[in-house]
Structure 1
Amino acid sequence: MKIEKKEIFGEWEEFTLTNDQNMSVSVLNYGGIITKILVPDRNEKVENVVLGYKNYQDYQENPNYFGAIIGRVAGRIRDAAFEIDGKAYSLQANDGKNHLHGGPAGLHQVVWEATPFETNETIGVTLSHQSEEGGGYPGNLEITVTYTLTNDNQLHLEYTAGSDKTTPLALTNHTYFNLCGNLKDTVQDHFLTMNSSSVAELDAELIPTGNITNVEGTRFEFRHERVLGESFNGKYNGYDHYFIFDEGPNEVQVELKEPTSGRVLTVRTNQPGMVMYTANDLESGQKLREGETRKHLGVCFETKGTPASLHHQGFPCILLHPGETYKQHTVFTFQIDQ
């Protein structure tokens, strides 16, 4: 196992973690961005399975949030406003009249303090940042995000945080996965299984209505393996929805398979659900490491709580109180289906 560090633009650093199974993960201290994940296919051909820009300077704006840590609150906050104990807070609107992914000053555009580490079984990098009160969010936050790579081809993402005031917090990572390898095709022919019986209903602006819908008999039914691309058409255009995980003994909440390469990605988390986003609005023509962007070129598994809880009953609360510790843990495991 080894860790390599590369300086970019003087202030940025990219850490590449490589295990003994020929898998590697590259992470920027800017935005905590995962720029590249290399994993072998069934024929031991090592290829990149995430979307990343060809030119590092494109990460400065990163309108698609490629690979980044998202927060303080991942997702859309209706009308860019919320209340805590009767007190109203106004945020910056950056998605129409709504607030998206932490706003224009989100965590995806800050330089984190990075500390690499290595143990007998793992390698990784710990990112730390103090998010000061502002932009409408109350409280000063101390946030730590740790990326750990194991020899079992597992990538662990651990998030911890504390605040001096009650504040909403729902962190996630916004990596776009494509198991074809080197972006040879879209994710339309990937097979997906998900341990979810319900999904949050959305309005025309992709804001949760407060209703929770049973997936049975709908295009959101993934409890039995289905092809993602069945909903990539003019009527539906894919997914950008919050799926609520079922409780139970099943540790793996998501399984994604790509039959040609044999690659399999599983996701397990301690979070109550996730937004699955299938790059519905990814405009063509942006230069990536292995080609150019196009619709449905990747799929994001944004494990987190949902900001719907700020306006509606029935969703797990995302408020972090002083004296509490926010703890989120998500594991992405790469395997081969022979």
Structure 2
Amino acid sequence: MRKLGKRLATSAVLALAATLAGTALAADATQASAGTLADGTPITAITLKAGNGISAVILSYGATLQKLFAPDRTGKVADVVLGYDDIASYVDHPNYFGVTVGRYANRIADGKFALNGKTYQLPQNDGGNSLHGGGKGFDKAAWQVVSVKSGPTASVVLRHVSPDGDSGYPGKLTATVTYTLDEAGNLGILFEAATDKPTVVNMTNHAIFDMGGEGSAEGATGHRLTIPAARFTPVNAKLIPTGELKPVAGTVFDFRAPRRVADGQRDGTDPQIVFGRGYDHNFALDKGLTAKPELAARLEDPASGRVLEVLTTEPGVQFYAGNFLDGTLIGKHGHVYRMGDGIALEPQKFPDAPNQAAFTSPRVDPGKPYRHAMIYRLSTSR
């Protein structure tokens, strides 16, 4: 498995670098200690820095995007992702800020799924559901730093081995996450995993964005969002998809043209908004499952001009408007995080897909590795 992990890591860097557009000049990658866990495990912070004001800090704990700095239309640089200043807060007050989620991102109904005639029970950490791996998922693991490289594209490769039966999931899974940054403003994230038994995998990044700058007084609901999806997956009161692919036309879920998040976030006449306490829904992207990353969402802060484009190979994107941020979490620089202070756009297979045959299957088999390539592309508007 050590040789397999090395091969996955190498292919990850090459494959993701090939997807990123633009002519790269130079980008630096450095690493430093970020502290230790209670058991003495050291945690590393890796900084990827381009020459255009864009930089990212990745923690080996949770393979987490801790910071993402981007300039506004005047050149002023700000960190645009919510999170914490120290490792202890990620451990003591977990809220998925910027983490790698897995083995299965999003919800699985009743924490159960069947595979090859056998039913598997997962931890139920979201009411009766299993959410983002069941409470002790990839976000709470200390990942191994495999490589850190500077060059035309700066990169870091991290690896985690999840044993057979981990949180109830079958199969020993060797997972890698590769972050890359180039001069064009592309922060790429490539997820790969190989298993020794049939299993289900759905990995993504859970960064929560405020393009006005983390902790801004205005929050993120004034941002303009575009999602190229004619349909979304409505949910029941437990936030599990009903199985329907519902047209967005004529609803507050129509983001095919840019619109302010705030315009529909509190529309209590729509039962879907009531169920999610706002937006917390998966959109079925028009592009479907693709070989190379294509546009899943565009988020713009009109005040600063900062623009985020999310590209992915996956068929869905979960749009979450920070509805469960309730002012009890103290983030970076002592900022109190409240409802609407950030927006997550999580590319993925659909929620509860292991139990819904009509959705794209998340099944992964030996000899057929899992792969998800996504990009956070940063730019500015006038």
TM-score, normalised by the number of residues in structure 1 = 0.96
Task: Please tell me whether the aligned partners of residues 229 and 238 of structure 1 are also in contact (alpha carbons under 8 angstroms).
Answer: no
Q: Is the 8 A contact 2:28 2:151 kept in 1?
A: no
Residue 228 (structure 1) aligned to one of 233, 242, 261: 261
The equivalent position to 1:80 in structure 2, one of 111, 117, 120, is 111
Q: Partners of 2:182 and 2:373 in 1: how far apart?
A: 15
Whole-angstrom distance in 1 between the partners of 2:164 and 2:256: 41
The residue that corresponds to 2:359 in the other structure is 315
Partner of 2:231: 198
- The C-alpha deviation readout for 1:139-177, integer Å capped at 9, x for no partner, is 000111000001111000001111011101000110001
Name the structure where helix makes up a greater proportion of residues.
Answer: 2
Match of 1:281 among 301, 305, 324: 324
List aligned pairs for 1:203-282, cutoff 5 A: 203-233=236-266, 235=268, 236=273, 237-247=277-287, 251-282=294-325
Provide the C-alpha distance between the structure 1 equivalents of 2:150 and 2:85, rounded to a whole number of angstroms.
Answer: 32
- Counterpart of 2:31 in structure 1: which amino acid? K
Whether 2:79 is the aligned partner of 1:36: answer no
Distance in 2 (CA, whole Å) between partners of 1:234 and 1:199 is 17
Matches within 5 A, 1:161-176: 161-176=193-208
The answer on whether the counterparts of 1:210 and 1:308 sit within 8 Å (CA) in structure 2 is no
State the partner residue of 1:127. 158
Give structure 1 stretches of 5+ with no counterpart.
none
The correspondence of residues 23-62 of structure 1 with structure 2, limited to 5 A, is 23-62=54-93
Say whether the 8 Å CA contact 2:287–2:294 is kept in structure 1: no
- The answer to whether the 8 A contact 2:29-2:150 is kept is no
* C-alpha contact (below 8 Å) 1:284/1:295 kept by paired residues: yes
User: 1:103 & 1:266 partners in 2: Cα distance?
Assistant: 29
Indicate yes or no: 2:180 matched with 1:148. yes
Q: 1:158 and 1:251 mapped to 2: Cα distance?
A: 14
What amino acid does structure 2 have at the position aligned with 1:102?
Answer: G
SS in 1 for 2:294: coil
| Of 113-122 and 248-257, the range deviating more from structure 2 | 248-257
In structure 2, the partner of 1:9 is: 35
- The C-alpha deviation readout for 1:200-240, integer Å capped at 9, x for no partner, is 11000101111111111111100111111112227233211
SS in 1 for 2:238: coil
Q: Percent identity?
A: 35
Contact residue 307 and residue 318 of structure 1 kept, 8 A: no
Counterpart-to-counterpart distance in 1, 2:246 and 2:341: 27
**In 2, are the aligned partners of 1:278 and 1:299 still within 8 Å (CA)?**
yes
Q: CA RMSD in A?
A: 1.6
Deviation at 1:62, TM superposition (A): 4.1
Residue pair 2:282, 2:350 contacting (<8 A) in 1 also: yes
Query: 1:52 touches 1:288 (CA, 8 Å); kept in 2?
Result: yes
Measure the CA separation in 2 of the matches of 1:96 and 1:40: 40
Tell me the secondary structure at the aligned position of residue 210 of structure 1: coil
Q: Which residue of 1 aligns with 2:374?
A: 330
Question: Higher strand proportion, which one?
Answer: 1
Task: Tell me the amino acid that sits aligned with residue 326 of structure 1.
Answer: Y
Tell me which amino acid in the other structure corresponds to 2:186: Q
CA distance in 2, matches of 1:247, 1:234: 28
Alpha-carbon separation, structure 1, partners of 2:224 and 2:101: 26
- 1:2 offset after TM fit, Å? 2.1
Question: Residue 192 of structure 1 contacts residue 256 of structure 1 at CA under 8 Å; is this kept in 2?
Answer: yes
